[in-house]
Amino acid sequence: ECLYAKDICGKGKCVNTIGNYRCECDQGFKEATVNYVKKCYDIDECENSPCEGGTCNNIDGAFFCSCPDGMELDGTNVKCVDMDECTTAGYCEHGNCTNLADGKGFNCDCEKGYVKSVDGKTCEDMDECMMPNICKNGVCVDLPGTYRCDCNNGFKKNSAGECVDVDECFEYPDLCRHGSCSNKIGSFMCQCNEGFKQDATNQSCQDINECKQDGFCKNGNCRNRIGSAVCTCYPGYEKTIDGLSCEDKDECADEDNRCQLGGTCVNTDGSFKCLCNPGFVSDENERECIDVRRSFCFSSLENNQCTRANGLNVTKSVCCCSMGAGFGDPCELCPVKGTKEFEYYCPNGVGFIYSNNTDINECEANLGTCINGDCVNADGSFRCVCDEGYTLNPNNPRECIDRDECAAGSNYCGNGNCTNLVGSYQCSCEEGFEPGTDSPACVDVDECAAKEKLCVYRCKNLYGSYMCSCPKGFKLAEDQKHCVDINECDTPHRCPFRCKNFVGGFRCLCPPGYRKDAQGRCLEINECLDNPTLCRPGGFCQNIEGGYRCDCTPPFMRSDDGKFCQDKSMGLCFSNIVDKVCQGSSGKMEKVSQRDCCCTGGGSAWGTDCRVCPDLNTPEGRSLCTGYQNRTVDECKFIAGVCKNGKCMDTADGFTCMCNAGYKLSMNGMKCEDKDECSDGTASCPSGCKNIDGGYECICPEGYTINEDKSKCIDENECETGNHNCQNGCENT
């Protein structure tokens, strides 16, 4: 049967027997005969209720147990026990889980930033960005369990995480080049300087091209520049009064006009022309009159008369450009070199003809004479070759004078002073030099080796002098001998925050509210932890970024800068303190606030506990008195001992003191201080002076005493005053 009827057993193995067969069934199946056929049939295990606390589910060849919500199978897979959801994945994630026994479930408290899922099994992220106004002036980005605000352009986060306006004008000082910056909420605007205009965004300044403006630089060449323009007028034109355009220039009114020498100037639009006198001809441009007259040339002038004529007819240009003295008949004096007339006749300089820049041979034309020498022609001039023992006179190129060896530039004396002598010379050395051992020339003195203590630190010899130097961190004082500290903090950007100078160096400091760590970084200080006394008495300290703030309880109120709790109660005000005890007055005293007492400048202490007024230059003093305005009160009545050594006078904005003789008003006008008559020149002592409180004493030399009106020192009769140690008899001298 097993051979011919395959799968006859179904879920089992067929085993042939004599005249029959049997089925060895798989687990979960059993043999049964149905309609005379043996076969393996499923066993319904659920008939025996194998599942404890759960439901049995029969399947082909097996079964499984299923548990109700809150329960799970144990290791036998047939018993339902309580399910610990708190240790099961997928339950109460991002929350605090509490398991409930006997299948009753669990409790889940979600963490901040999470809410329960719809099925209540776990915690899902809360989308804070759905909340209204969650990121004002910014864009909200949801994150697991939290959110982040990305601020819009023009905003940044403050210490509370809020997006606040960025003052671009303060953060970026160079933002508006060529203009001034005005901050706006979330943005800024540039107000442009003259010569610039705003761009389309109003956030930068663009150069205005004045050259494209109608009427600008008329009759001229315009060249635009950053923030302005340069107008260069055409020849014959000059700037208008406002400098924006060009108008015709009256060249005839110009002192340098060439027509004035030998002609008359006629002005034209953008130009001019010359009408020439007889003996003068116009150049091709009609801008100059050329002298073409020819006559004798005179080389010297004696008693205002021209003498020594050269005997040849030459032009005035040839005559005067070869340094002649006069020209023509009657004689016209040659112009002085450097004058406008000389430049007219000699535009190419001394020694050259006017028309073609040709050299004048003064020696051939008998125009060059040399006293004590020979004439030698040269390009543009001539020169005198002096006889032996002579040299050219620097004031007269036609004269040779005695040679001064000291002025000849031969440097006979080195760095010394040379004195000319007949046939010789002598040297006198300047400070820092001395005569040499091999010649009279002056040589350098090594002051550092010759003299001690020239410099406090180090001496370096220089040629003809010496120089003192200082160690690192110091520089030379004004006396160039001592060394003074260099204030490195005067150098910009020396430190990222603050710079502290000290002798020989400097130190970089952190800004207020920060201090350095071991790596030199500036970290914020928690002032409230560092100093528990802050804001005491009357409040408690709250740390904020870069500082702290006081939260005060009545009758204390926070100061204007938020750094102190100020007592707003009323108390007595005292001007004088002796041995830490406030000194009252015999008159009636009014009660005032601590601010009224300490900020008027006359109070020294306040209140029943004699609380000393803080120095106005300390943080506590500035906090108490900044913004204080004197109300209408009579400080003379409520400040005990005010204006000691004087009389108190109430004024509209405070009070002032009228001081007694021997006292003077303090700088703030609120106290009477002793006047030092000895140092201010008011004392009239003939000899020595000693200042005392409220006055002064005149001191005379030993053996003298001051007279009654303190005008002079007179002899002291020690025998009468008893100021002696004579035992038998006394005689005054």
Task: Please tell me the distance from the alpha carbon of residue 554 to that of residue 381, in angstroms, as a whole number.
Answer: 103
Asked if residue 421 belongs to a domain, the reply is no
pLDDT at residue 191 in the model: 92
Same domain, 275 and 300: no
Average pLDDT, the chain: 83
This prediction's pTM: 0.28
The residues near 435 (Cβ < 8 Å, ≥ 6 apart) are 416, 427, 429, 441, 442, 443
Same domain, 341 and 379: yes
pLDDT greater than 80 at residue 189 = yes
Residue 483 near residue 518, CB atoms below 8 Å: no
Asked if residue 695 belongs to a domain, the reply is yes
Asked if residue 520 belongs to a domain, the reply is no
Confidence of residue 633 (pLDDT cuts 50, 70, 90): low
Through-space distance between the first and last CA atoms of the chain, rounded to whole angstroms: 174
Q: What are the tokens at 427?
A: 């040297």
**Domain boundary residue, one of 372, 403, 434:** 403
Same domain, 307 and 364: yes
Range with the lowest mean pLDDT among 9-23, 287-301, 360-374, 660-674? 360-374
Same domain, 555 and 628: no
Higher-confidence residue of 488 and 670: namely 488
Angle in degrees, CA 688, 692, 698, rounded to 5: 25
Same domain, 354 and 397: yes
Confidence of residue 660 (pLDDT cuts 50, 70, 90): confident
Q: What are the tokens at 382?
A: 């001539």
Task: Please tell me the distance from the alpha carbon of residue 497 to that of residue 514, in angstroms, as a whole number.
Answer: 10
Asked if residue 473 belongs to a domain, the reply is no
Same domain, 269 and 311: no
Asked if residue 368 belongs to a domain, the reply is yes
Residues 476-500, mean pLDDT to the nearest whole number? 87
Range with the lowest mean pLDDT among 375-389, 569-583, 685-699? 375-389
Report the relative pairing of strands 573-574 and 639-640 from DSSP bridges. Answer: parallel
The single-letter code of the amino acid at 419 is T
Same domain, 544 and 607: no
Looking at the structure of the chain, the number of domains it has is 7
Same domain, 240 and 214: yes
pLDDT digits (tens, 9 = 90+) for 699-712: 888 888 888 888 88
**Domain boundary residue, one of 349, 383, 403:** 403
Same domain, 299 and 398: yes
Range with the lowest mean pLDDT among 89-103, 272-286, 417-431, 474-488? 417-431
Task: Please tell me the distance from the alpha carbon of residue 543 to that of residue 564, in angstroms, as a whole number.
Answer: 13
Asked if residue 175 belongs to a domain, the reply is no
pLDDT at residue 408 in the model: 62
Higher-confidence residue of 440 and 158: namely 158
pLDDT greater than 80 at residue 297 = yes
**Domain boundary residue, one of 219, 249, 279:** 249
pLDDT at residue 530 in the model: 86
Same domain, 298 and 393: yes
Whose CA is closest to 262, among 280, 236, 249? 280
Same domain, 229 and 313: no
pLDDT at residue 96 in the model: 93
Asked if residue 282 belongs to a domain, the reply is yes
Same domain, 330 and 390: yes
Phi/psi for 452 (5° steps) reads -95, 155
Residue 264 near residue 257, CB atoms below 8 Å: no
pLDDT greater than 70 at residue 367 = no
Asked if residue 336 belongs to a domain, the reply is yes
Confidence of residue 317 (pLDDT cuts 50, 70, 90): confident
Q: Which domain holds residue 680?
A: 675-725
Q: What percent of the chain has pLDDT over 90?
A: 9
**CATH at 685:** 2.10.25.10
Higher-confidence residue of 372 and 182: namely 182
pLDDT at residue 151 in the model: 92
Residue 321 near residue 314, CB atoms below 8 Å: no
Whose CA is closest to 623, among 558, 569, 560? 560
Confidence of residue 631 (pLDDT cuts 50, 70, 90): low
Confidence of residue 25 (pLDDT cuts 50, 70, 90): very high
Confidence of residue 368 (pLDDT cuts 50, 70, 90): low
